[in-house]
């Protein structure tokens, strides 16, 4: 028999998260979460690995932006991010001084609607929070630096500066994901920029004649350039996927874009950790488990032992993984990839054009 011998013992009253993970997460998805923690800390957080975090599901309304994402960003454990727009939008509420409340999910939604209360499962807040946040975003997006077509990373970077300043002016302890990413130079992309209140506010300003606009094609090339730059320099690429959906696919498609579309030599992401409750047999993970992703060129086939899928609730796994990583790893120097976007994109463009020239017309 090969493998770890299971030697159970009583859990002590003062057990740490690290000890809980290492000594008591024996089997099933507890063991998968232990594997995920170890791959993240021991493999993905090596100095030469560029780490992408993808975020889906309503995690920031639950407070996990400030609780988990900000510490990971500030520790240098996340180098670039792909998030749903909703997570970025709802994280701004607290930065403007508004409160969200925990309640029972078994409430009368018709009555909540009559009283102007918004519900996200067991989280509630006044609808004025949305109106005031929208007003803040629209006013910020009228500034001169937004009046052009830009990648979602650039729009989020400028917005993060305003959000971070508002936090300082209000004297809030809260730090938003956008504000922390702005200060750390971590580019934040949205794979579906029109699918959130941020996108709707941009659309409203376009009706008013403002020029603020997302550039999805630039997002595709910038994200591919980040991965290509990491691998081209002799480093590795890892993805930490929370949930799935569009952010996950957008992160993983960087490799097919490099290999299949641009024709550049690459083998796929080196490390793949996903926390999800979806299943491949119902279509939720079809084509997207690590082994299936190998067939698309998304994951390096030689690195399959360094891929983990943990089937559990992200709101359970993320605090554990974050605590484990902060306890086991010293902070890494910030890569500040936002500042290097133009350089990385130019490297990708140059190699792509050289490849095209080498193949010749009609190739």
Looking at per-residue pLDDT, the higher value among 157 and 359 belongs to 157
CA dihedral 298, 82, 341, 221 (to 10 degrees): 50
- Which of 231, 248, 298, 335 does the annotation list as catalytic? 298
For the question of residue 298 being annotated catalytic, the response is yes
SS3 content of the chain, % helix, strand, coil (to 5): 55, 15, 35
pLDDT given for residue 306 in this prediction = 76
pLDDT at 152 over 90: yes
Nearest to 188 by CA among 236, 154, 218, 231: 154
Stretch 274-296: mean pLDDT, rounded?
Answer: 76
The pLDDT of residue 295: 77
Question: Both tokens of residue 300?
Answer: 């390096």
How many Å apart are CA 170 and CA 58, to the nearest integer? Answer: 25
The pLDDT-based confidence of 287 (bands split at 50, 70, 90) is low
Mean per-residue pLDDT for 307-311? 91
Answer yes or no: is pLDDT of 39 > 80: yes
Q: Is the pLDDT of residue 1 over 60?
A: no
Residue 341, CA distances (Å) to 10, 139, 344, 347 in order:
51, 27, 5, 10
Compute the CA torsion angle 184, 185, 186, 192 (nearest 10 deg).
130
Residue with tokens 């506010």: 201
Task: Kindly state the average pLDDT of the residues 8-14.
Answer: 94
Residue 151 has pLDDT above 90, yes or no: yes
Question: Which whole number is the average pLDDT over 224-240?
Answer: 96
pLDDT the model gives residue 48: 96
Q: What is the pTM of this model?
A: 0.93
Beta strand 117-120 pairing with 123-126: antiparallel
pLDDT at 156 over 70: yes
Return the CATH superfamily for domain 17-90+148-359.
Answer: Deoxyhypusine synthase (3.40.910.10)
Q: Over range 170-177, report the average pLDDT.
A: 94
Identify the CA nearest to 43 among candidates 309, 273, 360: 273
Q: Is the pLDDT of residue 301 over 90?
A: no
Instruction: Render pLDDT for 53-111 as a digit per residue (tens, 0 to 9).
Output: 999 999 999 999 999 999 999 999 999 999 999 999 999 999 999 999 999 999 999 99
DSSP states along 218-282: HHHHHHHHHHHHHHHTT-EEEEEEES-HHHHHHHHTHHHIIIIIS------BSEEEEEE---GGG
Q: Distance between CA atoms of 163 and 180, rounded to whole angstroms?
A: 10
Name the band, by pLDDT with cuts 50, 70 and 90, for residue 252: very high
Q: Note the pLDDT of residue 109.
A: 94
Categorize the per-residue pLDDT at 7 as very low, low, confident or very high, splitting at 50, 70 and 90: confident
Q: Give me the pLDDT at residue 363, please.
A: 56
Q: Sign of the CA dihedral 228, 230, 234, 235?
A: negative
Does residue 300 or residue 353 have the better pLDDT?
353
pLDDT value for 326? 98
Q: In what order do the strands lie in the sheet with 307-311?
A: 188-189, 80-83, 49-55, 236-242, 271-276, 307-311
Reply yes or no on whether the pLDDT at 361 is more than 70. no
Tell me what the pLDDT averaged over the chain comes to: 93
Q: Which two tokens stand for residue 340?
A: 């290097």
| pLDDT confidence of residue 304 | 67
What does the pLDDT average to over 288-309? 75
CA distance 81 to 182: 12
- Taking the C-alpha atoms of residue 156 and residue 126, their distance in angstroms, rounded to an integer, is 25
305 vs 125, higher pLDDT: 125
């Amino acid at each position: 028999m090969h493998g770890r011998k299971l030697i159970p013992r009583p859990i002590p009253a003062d057990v740490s998260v690290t000890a809980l993970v290492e000594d008591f997460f024996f089997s099933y998805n507890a063991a998968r979460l232990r594997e995920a923690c170890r791959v993240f800390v021991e493999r993905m957080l090596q100095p030469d690995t560029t780490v992408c975090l993808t975020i889906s599901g309503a995690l920031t309304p639950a407070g996990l932006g400030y609780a988990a994402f900000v510490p990971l960003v500030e520790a240098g454990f996340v180098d670039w991010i792909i998030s749903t727009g909703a997570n970025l939008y709802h994280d701004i509420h607290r930065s403007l001084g508004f409160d969200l409340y925990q309640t029972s999910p078994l409430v009368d939604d018709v009555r909540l609607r009559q009283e102007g209360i918004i519900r996200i499962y067991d989280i509630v807040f006044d609808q004025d929070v949305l109106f005031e946040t929208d007003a803040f975003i629209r006013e910020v997006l009228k500034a001169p630096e937004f009046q052009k077509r830009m990648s979602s990373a650039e729009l989020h970077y400028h917005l993060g500066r305003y959000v971070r300043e508002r936090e300082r002016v209000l004297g809030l302890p809260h730090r938003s994901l956008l504000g922390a990413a702005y200060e750390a130079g971590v580019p934040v992309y949205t794979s579906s920029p029109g699918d959130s209140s941020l996108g709707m506010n941009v659309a409203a300003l376009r009706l008013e004649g403002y020029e603020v606009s997302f550039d999805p094609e630039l997002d595709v090339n910038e994200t591919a350039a980040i991965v290509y730059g990491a691998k081209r320099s002799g480093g590795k690429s890892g993805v930490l996927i929370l949930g799935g959906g569009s952010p996950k696919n957008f992160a993983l498609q960087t490799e097919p874009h490099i290999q299949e579309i641009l024709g550049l030599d690459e083998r796929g992401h080196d490390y793949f950790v996903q926390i999800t409750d979806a299943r491949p047999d119902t279509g939720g993970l079809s084509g997207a488990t690590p082994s299936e992703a190998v067939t698309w060129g998304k994951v390096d086939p030689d690195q399959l032992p360094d891929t983990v899928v943990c089937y559990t609730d992200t709101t359970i796994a993320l605090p554990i993984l974050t605590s484990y990583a902060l306890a086991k790893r010293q902070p890494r120097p910030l890569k500040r990839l936002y500042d290097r976007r133009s350089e990385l994109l130019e490297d990708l463009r140059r190699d792509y054009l050289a490849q095209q020239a080498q193949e010749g017309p009609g190739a």
